[in-house]
């Protein structure tokens, strides 16, 4: 018969493990892992929908235009802002900054070659631009110099949704993610007749705040001069940075001046704000649950050690060292954790599928890769193991040194 210290100690420790206890351990660590991994994956997949939307358009912006009446349509009077009106607006208390929209005064045609199963097409287009400091995109993407053939473009996110959930589904075309959309190259044909030139263009970002196609302002100024040198128009749309969100004075002033503001936009602002608030709340509660789950797992092993207190002390007295005494608990902990981890991964995917089915219809999500989720889970296992090891070793040491 052969004996070794590991087997004998494990036999002693195992003695206090009933079936009920083991299943309880497993049950709670599966719950713990499930919550941890699910929370992590959801955060990675969905959080950007709440965070990045506002990145294109800085906060506290309102876009103004004049209301269009039937009379104006008949007389052909342009609903543009005069110098005086703009100055008056600038002098208001609630206004921090005013920028005017410029729009393209020349014909624009867009062409796309067939890419990734999307059939090629061409369409007439227009551009608008606003001052640089109203836009918040990565500097390197959003840049144009004279002589540059490449033109960066920002389009409304609704266009993407229109394609993905309206056009593509009805025509049997593949749906395209935001990321893929920014990689599609297309051509722009500017001007007409003799004065015509082809440019390369790419979508660099999406906006939910303004319903127009944006190009860099310096490009539009240059292009207007080059392709439509004689035309010059007063701005018909204005973007205003207010000092605080939802200022009462602002609404009354806009009302008095008969300016139209995009009510939906304001509503959207509010909605996004509440969504963000709800999301942070859920995240906060999730963090508490996650913390509790980790705590539960650690407490479980503490309990096991506490139950074996006398044995641990006796083993220490006959010459076992702290590491040898902690080893069986660590072994059990890693086994429990790996089992829980393996069981919780498919559970997470099951729930994610359900969520995606419900949410995917109105929200474009980036699906994280299976390996990312598995890797994320493994990192959690390792971190928990290290925390557990430190705490377990300390508890064993404490028991060993107690009189």
Partner 1 sequence: MEIKISQLVPHPLKEFGFEQSEIWKNTYTFSSGNIYQIVAHSGVGKSTLINILYGDRKDYDGEVLFDGQNIKNYSLNDWTKIRREKIAYVFQGLHLFEELTLMENIQLKNVLTQHQSENQIIEWIEKVGLKSHLHQKAIHLSYGQRQRIAVIRALCQPFDFLLLDEPFSHLDEVNQQLLTDLVTKEAAKNNAGIIFTSLHEIHDKRLSNVIQL
* Binding stretches for partner 1 (CB under 8 A): 1, 3-5, 8-9, 11-12, 15, 311, 314-315, 317-322, 397, 400-401, 403
Q: Minimal distance in Å, beta carbon 300 to partner 1?
A: 22
By the 10 Å C-beta count (0-12 exposed, 13-18 middle, 19+ buried), 276 is classed as middle
Q: Minimal distance in Å, beta carbon 333 to partner 1?
A: 22
SS3 109: strand
Half-sphere exposure of 296 (CA within 13 A, CB side): 20
Give dist(CA 155, CA 203) in Å, integer.
7
Q: Minimal distance in Å, beta carbon 326 to partner 1?
A: 13
Q: Minimal distance in Å, beta carbon 395 to partner 1?
A: 15
DSSP lists the bridge partners of residue 188 as 110, 199
Is the CB of residue 63 less than 8 Å from the CB of residue 237?
Answer: yes
**Number of helices (H), then strands (E), in the chain:** 13, 11
Residue by residue, what is the 3-state secondary structure of 149-210? CEEEEEEEHHHHHHHHHHHHHHHCCCCCCHHHHCCCCEEEEEEECCEEEEEEEEEEEEECCC
Q: Minimal distance in Å, beta carbon 394 to partner 1?
A: 13
Give the tokens for residue 252. Answer: 């009354």
By the 10 Å C-beta count (0-12 exposed, 13-18 middle, 19+ buried), 219 is classed as buried
Name which of 4 and 84 has its Cβ closer to partner 1. Answer: 4
Q: Minimal distance in Å, beta carbon 389 to partner 1?
A: 17
Is the CB of residue 120 less than 8 Å from the CB of residue 173?
Answer: no
Q: What is the DSSP letter of 148?
A: -
Give the tokens for residue 123. Answer: 């369409």
Name which of 355 and 400 has its Cβ closer to partner 1. Answer: 400
Give the tokens for residue 193. Answer: 């007749």
Q: Minimal distance in Å, beta carbon 312 to partner 1?
A: 11
How far, in Å, are 58, 153, 275, 323 from residue 52 at the CA level? Answer: 11, 17, 13, 48
Q: Minimal distance in Å, beta carbon 373 to partner 1?
A: 42
């Amino acid at each position: 018969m052969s004996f070794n210290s590991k087997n004998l100690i494990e036999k002693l420790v195992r003695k206090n493990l009933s079936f009920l206890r083991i299943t309880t351990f497993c049950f709670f660590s599966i719950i713990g892992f499930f919550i941890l991994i699910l929370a992590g994956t959801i955060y990675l997949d969905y959080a950007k929908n709440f965070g990045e939307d506002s990145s294109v358009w800085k906060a506290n912006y309102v876009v103004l235009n004049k209301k269009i009446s039937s009379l104006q349509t008949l007389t052909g009077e342009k609903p543009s802002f005069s110098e005086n009106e703009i100055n008056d607006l600038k002098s208001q208390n609630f206004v921090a900054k005013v920028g005017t929209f410029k729009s393209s005064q020349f014909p624009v045609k867009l062409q796309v070659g067939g890419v990734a199963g999307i059939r090629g097409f061409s369409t007439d287009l227009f551009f608008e631009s606003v001052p640089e400091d109203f836009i918040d995109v990565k500097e390197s993407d959003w840049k144009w110099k004279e002589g540059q053939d490449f033109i960066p473009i920002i389009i409304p996110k609704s266009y993407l949704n229109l394609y993905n959930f309206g056009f593509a589904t009805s025509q049997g075309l593949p749906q395209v993610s935001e990321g893929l959309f920014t990689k599609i190259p297309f051509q722009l044909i500017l001007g007409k007749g003799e004065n015509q030139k082809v440019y390369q263009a790419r979508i660099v970002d999406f906006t939910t705040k303004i319903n127009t196609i944006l190009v860099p302002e310096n490009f539009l100024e240059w292009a207007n001069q080059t392709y439509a040198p004689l035309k010059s128009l007063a701005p018909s749309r204005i973007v205003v940075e207010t000092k605080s969100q939802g200022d009462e004075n602002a609404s009354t002033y806009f009302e008095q001046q008969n300016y139209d503001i995009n009510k939906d936009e304001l509503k959207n602002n509010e909605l996004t704000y509440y969504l963000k608030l709800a999301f942070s709340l859920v995240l906060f509660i999730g963090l508490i649950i996650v913390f509790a789950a980790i705590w539960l797992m650690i407490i479980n092993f503490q309990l096991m050690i506490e139950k074996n207190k006398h044995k641990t002390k006796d083993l220490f007295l006959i010459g076992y060292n702290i590491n040898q005494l902690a080893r069986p608990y660590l072994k059990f902990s890693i086994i429990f954790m790996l089992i829980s981890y393996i069981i919780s991964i498919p559970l997470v995917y099951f729930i994610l599928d359900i969520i995606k089915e419900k949410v995917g219809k109105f929200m474009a999500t980036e699906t994280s890769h299976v390996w990312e989720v598995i890797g994320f889970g493994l990192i959690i296992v390792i971190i928990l193991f290290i925390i557990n090891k430190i705490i377990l070793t300390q508890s064993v040491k404490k028991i060993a040194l107690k009189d």
